[in-house]
Amino acid sequence: MSRRKLSRFRHNAEAGNVIERGKELYTTIKGKWNEVYFKNKNPLVLELACGKGEYTVGLGSRLPERNFIGIDIKGDRIARGSARAGELALKNVAFLRTGIQFLDEFFEENEVSEIWLVHPDPQPRDKEEKRRLTNTRFLNLYKTYLKDGGIFHLKTDSRFLFDYSLEVMKSDPEFEILDATTDLYNSPLMEGHFEIVTHYERFFTERGATINYLKARLHKKK
């Protein structure tokens, strides 16, 4: 393992805004994010597969009335978002190191108000469908801890994943598609992204890629 990675792992172990295995909150935080960590009643917003946490930090710095949690399994990526949040003294930002499939271990039913999924791996091959983060299994997982009326965002450079996700969500009677575009940068919807651009996104748009985006609201069955 490189010295840089080791340094980032040490950062995570010492950082108060990173929750990971070995820390007390890792096994006790479920259902208590507002009470124990943020110590307020503000809405919880998740960035799934957050990578370096560009949206977690970007939205957190612009929307202090909400609490943001970036989630990723890669500790070296989370460390960069954690460090940036520390530099900005953001008290409404946290990072959780875990796999997306284990989120029910950290969030209670109806605990989350909003979810962002930004440039996830599209997993385009048929045999990879079970790993797509917008397949039916994952959407049903999100619906458990997303509140009635909660919002789900998908932003992706993959037209394949966008079309797939739109189709899956349209077939789910509990999701209402509010907005969808295959060219976010030339859409009025871009305003809601506060000019936040990930490193990955910048790389591909500079090479001519367009960005797809959809926004949906959850209406839970009574």
Task: Answer for the pair 103, 19: CB distance below 8 angstroms, yes or no.
Answer: no
17: which 2 tokens? 């805004």
Side-chain half-sphere exposure of 103, counting CA atoms within 13 A:
27
Distance separating the N- and C-terminal Cα atoms of the chain: 50
Considering only CA atoms, which of 110, 190, 183, 105 is closest in space to residue 150?
110
* C-beta neighbour count of 215 within 10 angstroms: 17
Q: Look up 121 and say whether it is catalytic.
A: yes
Rounded distance, CA 11 to CA 14, Å?
A: 5
Residue of 104, 121, 163, 183 with catalytic role: 121
Q: Which residues are catalytic?
A: 121
